[in-house]
């Protein structure tokens, strides 16, 4: 039998029907749902008189619109946001799907809740009407974002019409240097491939540096596969993966666990499996990075200077001019001289417990720079509870951070957490697009440790220098 | 779903690369629970001033481009989020076809579900059409899905590729869910098989 990639194996195990032209019906094991991209899909089901095909495989949680301030039990002020969340409450009830409402301690960002509750397991197909579904690939699950029409299709049929993507391997060899994190890996990869470099591919991340990451770190890496244009990111499951899954509420137990684990252990790319594209980066070459522009591919080590439009080719020249104007930056200035107004630590990229520990390690016993607005938004109610138990919350509050309730918050600013025009933010989220965090807002993406470092100095800051001072 | 066969209409040039879905339809308009009515918000931040008045130099605000039906765009159009609000807004504005050197994956899929035809052409051909589109409302571009051709205002013909299944669905306005439900027995037998081979799912 010929060698297969991890992607080939998961794909083959989920094809429910294949037409002559290669169009497949891919069976979906887990369908995650949130309030923004689902109302029209449920409405479609109602209009056509259809039910949800597999309600036991469908999980919903509101996250994008929910307030993250401590007084959220008083309800949602914005009427449209409230209607959207109420629509999800009703749809979950009417269609009988698993639901974590706003007041449930397990509520949080959908991509954090799925793994946390053991819904996401190795070898599964996972979809959600949200591009950062790629996150779940960290478990060796084939996970990707879909549009609302596809959400309706999955609700009605538990399948998705798909053609197979190509295989791409991104190998990060060796060890990371001190101060370099999973976020720096994933940003560095996008900096090299560009935001369209992965288009048409499923990326498998491998290599020693990836293996050494915790599950949280691996989720950070896969989360941003979509920013490189890939359909999905994957990491082969190993002991760390099994350890993470074991004992979670919806993970298999007892004999079922044993059978599952046997199967999971077959999930890796065979020796000699062929990849259509390969990128290799040395772990030692990765530096702590930040973004300077309005595309996630605009990545540079924090020690660099703001680039000049002339340094680029083609359409990128105009794009860089536009970005620099939007970002209010001058070519040649040191990135470490860029002054920030706000710090946002959270999102499905970096809102997990390990991210909060990394931020706390920097902030312990220190105070944020006067005049900065700083917030930490845990990815789920359970992450928040754990951070409180570990004493992290106290460190944040003492340092001058707002300690919020779980949700997407300022990652996309659909709730009141927004930047004002011109406000500059050090953010641990995944997109620095124009207006992403609020109209006219300026976003620099980075790791939680780097965002914490920026909160202390008021500038984009090299975490390695901070540690030595 | 609406059918798409052919059209001849005004094409607007939008040479930006990496036009993301936050530009196409910013998040404040994602709070709707309907699919319609988003056309006025298309490209909102590029199209309107803070006070809601139009920015006169934005392409779709110029008199020649008010009835745009075709968008000629830069590479990686539609990158970013999976929001189908992007094609909904484009459709609601009246744009039925987008021509670019490349598209982001999810956006490209979403177009077909909404009766919009995304066409990929090599960069030099997109450049030629971009120049054509810059001529304004007299320069009408024609698209024919049956023959898979784009014809510029001065008669130059470009051939494009499209997946045969998607072409068939678009030309006949077919609903994916109906088509899939015809294969219900395959889905059921898959489920029976999976219940044995992967019972923990
Ligand atoms: S945290 Fe940000 S990227 Fe993640 S699901 Fe929420 S809005 Fe999307």
pLDDT in tens, B141-187: 999 999 999 999 999 999 999 999 999 999 999 989 999 999 999 99
Distance from CA of B159 to the nearest CA of A (A): 21
Q: Strand A402-403 to strand A373-376: parallel, antiparallel, or no bridges (unpaired)? A: parallel
What residues in chain A have per-residue pLDDT under 50?
A: 468-469
| pLDDT value of position A1 | 60
Distance B129 CA to ligand 1 centre (A): 36
| Per-position pLDDT tens, chain B of length 201 | 789 999 999 999 999 999 999 999 999 999 999 999 999 999 999 999 989 999 999 999 999 999 999 999 999 999 999 999 999 999 999 999 999 999 999 999 999 999 999 999 999 999 999 999 999 877 799 999 999 999 999 999 999 999 999 999 999 999 899 999 999 999 999 999 999 999 999
Taking CB atoms and an 8 Å limit, are B176 and A263 in contact across chains? no
The DSSP annotation for A151-165 comes to HHHHHHHSEEEE---
Distance CA A232, CA A135 (A): 8
Question: pTM value?
Answer: 0.95
Angle formed at CA A199 by CA A195 and CA A202, multiple of 5 degrees: 115
Taking CB atoms and an 8 Å limit, are B26 and A318 in contact across chains? no
Q: Which residues of A touch B27 (CB under 8 A)?
A: 412-414, 436
The DSSP annotation for A85-109 comes to HHHHHHHHHHHT-EE--TTSTT-B-
> B99 and B121 in contact (C-beta within 8 Å)?
yes
What is the value of ipTM here, to two decimals? 0.91
Distance CA A422, CA A438 (A): 10
| pLDDT value of position B107 | 96
Q: Which of A39, A421, A431 sits opposite B33 (nearest CB)?
A: A39
B-facing residues of A in 393-412 (CB < 8 A) are 412
């Amino acid at each position: 039998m010929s060698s297969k990639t991890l992607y080939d194996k998961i794909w083959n195990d989920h094809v429910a029907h294949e037409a002559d032209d290669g169009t497949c019906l891919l069976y979906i094991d887990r369908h995650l749902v949130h309030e923004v991209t689902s109302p029209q899909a449920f409405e479609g089901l109602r209009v056509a008189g259809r039910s949800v095909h597999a309600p036991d495989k469908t999980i919903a949680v509101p996250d994008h619109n929910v307030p993250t301030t401590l007084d959220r039990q008083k309800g949602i002020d914005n009427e449209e946001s409230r209607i959207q969340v109420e629509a999800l409450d009703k749809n979950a009830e009417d269609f009988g799907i698993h639901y974590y409402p706003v007041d449930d301690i397990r509520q949080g960002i959908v991509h954090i809740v799925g793994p946390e509750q053991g819904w996401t397991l190795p070898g599964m197909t996972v979809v959600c009407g949200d591009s950062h579904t790629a996150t779940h690939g960290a478990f060796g699950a084939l996970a990707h974002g879909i549009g609302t029409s596809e959400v309706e299709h999955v609700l009605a049929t538990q399948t998705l019409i798909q053609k197979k993507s190509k295989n791409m391997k991104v190998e990060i060899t060796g060890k990371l240097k001190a101060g370099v994190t999973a976020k720096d890996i994933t940003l560095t990869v996008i900096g090299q491939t560009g935001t369209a470099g992965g288009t048409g591919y499923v990326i498998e991340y491998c290599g020693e540096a990836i293996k050494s990451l915790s599950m949280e770190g691996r989720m950070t890496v896969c989360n941003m596969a979509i920013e490189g244009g890939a359909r999905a990111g994957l990491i082969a499951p190993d002991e760390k993966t099994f350890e993470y899954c074991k004992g979670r509420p919806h993970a298999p137990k007892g004999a079922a666990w044993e059978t599952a684990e046997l199967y999971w252990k077959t999930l890796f790319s065979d020796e000699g499996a062929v990849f259509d594209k390969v990128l290799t980066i040395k772990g030692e070459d990765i530096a702590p990075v930040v973004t300077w522009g309005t595309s996630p591919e605009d990545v540079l080590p924090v020690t660099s200077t703001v680039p000049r439009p002339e340094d680029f080719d083609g359409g990128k020249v105009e794009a860089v001019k536009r970005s620099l104007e939007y970002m209010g930056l001058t070519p040649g200035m040191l990135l470490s001289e860029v002054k920030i107004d706000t710090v946002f630590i959270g999102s499905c990229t970096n809102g997990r417990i390990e991210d909060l520990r990394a931020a706390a390690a920097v902030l312990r016993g220190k105070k944020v720079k006067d005049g900065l607005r700083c917030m930490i938004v845990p990815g789920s109610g359970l992450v928040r509870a754990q951070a409180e138990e570990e004493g992290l919350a106290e460190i944040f509050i003492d340092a001058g951070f707002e300690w919020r309730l779980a949700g997407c918050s300022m990652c996309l600013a659909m709730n009141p957490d927004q930047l004002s025009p011109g406000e500059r933010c050090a953010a641990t989220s995944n997109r620095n697009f124009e207006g992403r965090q609020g109209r006219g807002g300026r976003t620099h993406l980075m790791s939680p440790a780097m965002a914490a470092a920026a909160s202390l100095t008021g500038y984009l800051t090299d975490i390695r220098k901070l540690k030595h001072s | 779903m609406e059918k798409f066969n052919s059209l001849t209409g005004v094409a607007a040039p939008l040479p930006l690369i990496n036009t993301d879905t936050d530009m196409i339809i910013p998040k404040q308009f994602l709070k709707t629970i309907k699919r319609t009515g988003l056309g006025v918000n298309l490209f909102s931040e590029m199209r309107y001033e803070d006070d809601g008045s139009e920015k006169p130099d934005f392409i779709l605000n110029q008199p020649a481009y008010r009835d745009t039906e075709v968008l000629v765009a830069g590479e990686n159009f539609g990158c970013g989020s999976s929001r189908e609000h992007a094609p909904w807004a484009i459709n609601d504005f009246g744009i039925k076809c987008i021509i670019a050197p490349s598209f982001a994956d999810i956006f490209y899929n979403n177009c077909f579900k909404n009766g919009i035809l995304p066409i990929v052409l090599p960069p030099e051909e997109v450049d030629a059409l971009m120049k054509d589109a810059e001529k304004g409302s007299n320069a009408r571009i024609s698209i024919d899905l049956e023959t898979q051709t784009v014809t510029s205002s001065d008669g130059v013909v470009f051939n494009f590729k499209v997946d045969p299944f998607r072409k068939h669905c678009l030309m006949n306005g077919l609903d994916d869910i109906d088509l899939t439900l015809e294969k219900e027995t395959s889905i059921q037998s898959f489920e029976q098989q999976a219940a044995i081979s992967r019972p923990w799912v």
